[in-house]
Every structure is written in C-alpha cells, then in structure tokens.
A = this chain, B = another copy of it.
C-alpha cells in the first residue's frame, strides 16, 4: 500500500523510536526484552495503516504484536493511530522494513504466528515471485516460525487466493481452515483491515485461510 508522499513522515517516525523500532536487527532473538515479557509474538507482514494489528493488540493483551511496513507514507498513519490511544498500545511495535528481510530481524521459532492481509495480488504471471504466498516467501517464513507454525491469510483477491491455496499445498503445508466468504458467518474474533471494510461494503467476498508448516 502506497500513499501520497508525506515530507513530515520521516521526522514523526524518528521521534517515536519506542513504537517504530529504528534498529530492529539489534533485537533479533530477543524481542521478549523489548516487550518485557515472554508472551507469544505474532507479526503482520504488510501492516499498512495498522488498523488490523492495532485492533489485534488491543483485543489480545496476552500476545505481543509487530507490524511490518516498508513505506513511510503508510506506516506513519499506523503510528499516528497508536499515538491517539490514550493508554498507548504496550504490546505493539512497528518496523519500517521490507518483509523479504524478515530473517534479519527474527530468529528461527521467534515468531509464533504470521499474518498476511490483503497483500498486493501481483496479477501478472511474471510477477508471481512478488506475491507474499510465493514459494520463496513461504521458505522465508519457515525460517522465523517454529515447526508447525501457522500463517493466517486474508484477501479480497480471488486470483491471489486461488494461487495461494495451490502454492501453500505445493509447499507441503497443511490447510487448517478455509473460508470463502468470511463475513457470511463472521467469527467474533475477526478484526477488519481498511481494505476488508472497503470490499465488504462493495459486497465482495473476503477469503481467508489458516495454514501450518509440517514438521518432517
């Protein structure tokens, strides 16, 4: 998700290192020190404006959350939303880094669950490698999740979801749960993203899956 260039974004981001960690490579293997507890760690690759990850963090105080987003112009909105919270969101941090470098910031087994929400569909076949459910990304996620770690994925994009089902199966992962219209029987634990609300209002179905790596 890109947004208009915001020249003030970099300054605001740098003035809040307690939320957007400026040197995340230094915490590889010791994120529990940042949070000051041993709660499980769930991350979202492609956090966008942060609605999902902030909602999850508020709803689940016994879990630590990290949202990862590359673009200043987008992550700054997530930051502003955290700052608007009167009591803050103590179990949430943000990283302004590229999801393809996850392995630099987390060690094997350090991330208990990975969320992917409304990732860029990259519809052209020649761009398939950029889809966040491409084999190369699944391989990357496997390096930071524990054995039998889970990925939870939501999208409105039919083509991306079709691709993801086969890519995940081909990788040898187990499909634990699939919904082809999440809001037909919306689970009470569901937290909507910005895109999700937008597409829901248009009457488009939201697709969701949970998949698990298999230990060999």
On chain A, the number of residues with a Cβ less than 8 Å from chain B's Cβ atoms is 17
B166 engages A177 (CB within 8 Å): yes
Residue in contact with A180 in the complex, picked from B162, B170, B177, CB distance below 8 Å: B162
Q: Give the distance to chain B from A69, nearest Cβ to Cβ, in Å.
A: 28
The answer to whether B175 and A158 touch across the interface, beta carbons within 8 angstroms, is: no
Task: Please determine whether A180 and B161 come into contact, CB atoms closer than 8 angstroms.
Answer: yes
A169 closest partner in B (C-beta) = B175
Contact B170 A174 (CB under 8 A): yes
Give bound CA distance, A37 to B179, whole Å: 44
- Assess whether A191 is interfacial by the CB under 8 Å rule: no
Contacts of A169 in B (CB 8 A): 169, 174-175
> A165 an interface residue at 8 Å Cβ cutoff?
yes
Interface 0/1 of A157-195, CB less than 8 Å to B:
010011001100110001111111100100000000000
Tell me if A31 is interfacial: C-beta within 8 Å of chain B.
no
A207 on the B face (CB < 8 A): yes
Contact of A165 among B158, B175, B181 (CB under 8 A): B175
Contact B165 A179 (CB under 8 A): no
For the complex, what is the distance from the CA of A207 to the CA of B161, rounded to whole Å? 13
Contact A165 B165 (CB under 8 A): yes
- Nearest B residue (CB) for A212: B169
Residues in chain A within 8 A of chain B (CB atoms): 158, 161-162, 165-166, 169-170, 174-181, 184, 207
Interchain residue pairs A-B with the least CB separation, the first 9: A169-B175, A165-B178, A162-B178, A166-B175, A158-B180, A169-B174, A165-B175, A162-B180, A166-B178
